[in-house]
Amino acid sequence: MADETLNNSGEMLAMVLTDDRKTRLERRPVPTPRDDQVLVDIELCGICGSDLDAPDLTEVYLGGFIMGHEPAGRIAGVGRDVSGWRVGQRVAINPNGDICGVCEACRSGRWNHCIPATMERAVGLQADGGLAAHVAVSPKTLHALPDEMGRVESGWVEPAAVALRAVLAAGELDGRSVLVVGGGPIGQLSCRLARHYGAARVWLSEPSSERRGYAEASQADRAFDPKAEAAELERLRADVVLECSGSEPGIRTSLAAAIPEGTVVVVGGGRAGLDPIAILIKELRVLGSFTYADEFAEVIGLLADGALQVADLTSEIATIDDAPAAFERLRDASTMKILIAPSEP
């Protein structure tokens, strides 16, 4: 079809969470960056599972903004007060990178707990994001991408950083057994990263047969169907469990499969409750893993040099006019990940 991402009036198609909390395509003005901002032409932006639930996630998604918190592209313009960046440079955008720099979290290097950056002006959640052809952002959000990084890999930086933080939060993995609960994009990345960091055994629990089909490529020794193999899962005695499903059954599986004094890292964003009795009796170490700090920069190297493979997890690259339908396709577990190319016809 004809290129409708831009028109002569200086507008662009954008996927928006509206004030009345609906997700739909709208025409929005092409942004004009302030003197302290950078304009980025978006080449790829992933659709996150949380985007599908954005209308109900009132804690983090504000209405009225362009969605898309997994963007990568090229710098198209640099404000007069910005230094260190140039037009044409490839970048990934850390949506939580516009830190205040003065709060206790920022001063201690725990930037993922800076409230302004994560809960007030996060790109694609509370400020305009990357599901449009262009976005104006603070240079604090930018990370340079190396020339050797592939195009598809650039669209995976943000979710890969989420998985990397969760894996590293578990501590030393060399020689240990790891169960990953939930076989979506974060779960598949977590399997691959756990193996990269030395896990002796990696298991995956996932109810979807299509997603279990990725287990071998994700270097899992075995994939379990938690509905049919619940008893066997609970007998695994995993040293580390990475809970990536955000579901109540996933939480139950995680606590049951962990060894006494084992570690459970909660990555999924659901509202399922933890069973305090299971935690108490086993003396489990239960941790949360929220976005990323230094991991955002670190994972770029893993993607660029091929240590973390993601091309096979990319179901398709769609255009911005197809974004509403892509949101619906992602509700089917047979679709793993869709990247949007907002500037392409």
In a domain, 337, yes or no: yes
Q: Are residues 143 and 175 in the same domain?
A: no
In a domain, 296, yes or no: no
**Dihedral angle sign, alpha carbons of residues 149, 150, 155, 158:** negative
Q: Are residues 123 and 238 in the same domain?
A: no
Write down the pLDDT at residue 8: 46
From 288, 305, 331, the end of a domain falls on 288
Q: Are residues 123 and 225 in the same domain?
A: no
Q: Are residues 207 and 227 in the same domain?
A: yes
In a domain, 299, yes or no: no
Q: Are residues 108 and 122 in the same domain?
A: yes
Write down the pLDDT at residue 341: 98
Return the CA Rg of the chain: 20
Closest CA to 258 of 276, 239, 242: 239
CATH code (residue 181): 3.40.50.720
Residue with tokens 């079809």: 1
Q: Are residues 40 and 127 in the same domain?
A: yes
Q: Are residues 102 and 35 in the same domain?
A: yes
CATH code (residue 39): 3.90.180.10
In a domain, 1, yes or no: no
Write down the pLDDT at residue 275: 83
Count: domains in the chain = 2
Q: Are residues 180 and 281 in the same domain?
A: yes
| pLDDT tens, position by position, 217-258 | 999 999 999 999 999 998 999 999 999 998 999 999 999 999
- Show the domain range for 176: 162-288
Q: Are residues 15 and 144 in the same domain?
A: yes
Q: Which residues of the chain have pLDDT under 70?
A: 1-9, 271-272, 345
Q: Are residues 129 and 216 in the same domain?
A: no
Q: Are residues 29 and 145 in the same domain?
A: yes
In a domain, 113, yes or no: yes
Write the secondary structure of the chain as one string of H (helix), E (strand) and C (coil): CCCCCECCCCEEEEEEECCCCCEEEEEEECCCCCCCCEEEEEEEEECCHHHHCHHHCCCCCCCCEECCCCEEEEEEEECCCCCCCCCCCEEEECCCCCCCCCCHHHHCCCHHHCHHHHHHCCECCCECCCCECEEEECHHHEEECCCCCCHHHHCCHHHHHHHHHHHHHCCCCCCCEEEEECCCHHHHHHHHHHHHCCCCEEEEECCCHHHHCCCCCCCCCEEECCCCCHHHHHCCCEEEEEECCCCHHHHHHHHHHEEEEEEEEECCCCCCCCCHHHHHHHCCEEEECCCCCCHHHHHHHHHHCCCCCCHHHCCEEEEHHHHHHHHHHCCCCCCCCEEEECCCC
Q: Are residues 167 and 258 in the same domain?
A: yes
Q: Which residues pair with 144 in a beta bridge?
A: 91
In a domain, 295, yes or no: no
In a domain, 306, yes or no: no
In a domain, 277, yes or no: yes
State the pTM of this model. 0.95
Write down the pLDDT at residue 31: 96
| pLDDT tens, position by position, 21-66 | 999 999 999 999 999 999 999 999 999 999 999 999 998 999 999 9
Write down the pLDDT at residue 274: 78
Write down the pLDDT at residue 243: 96
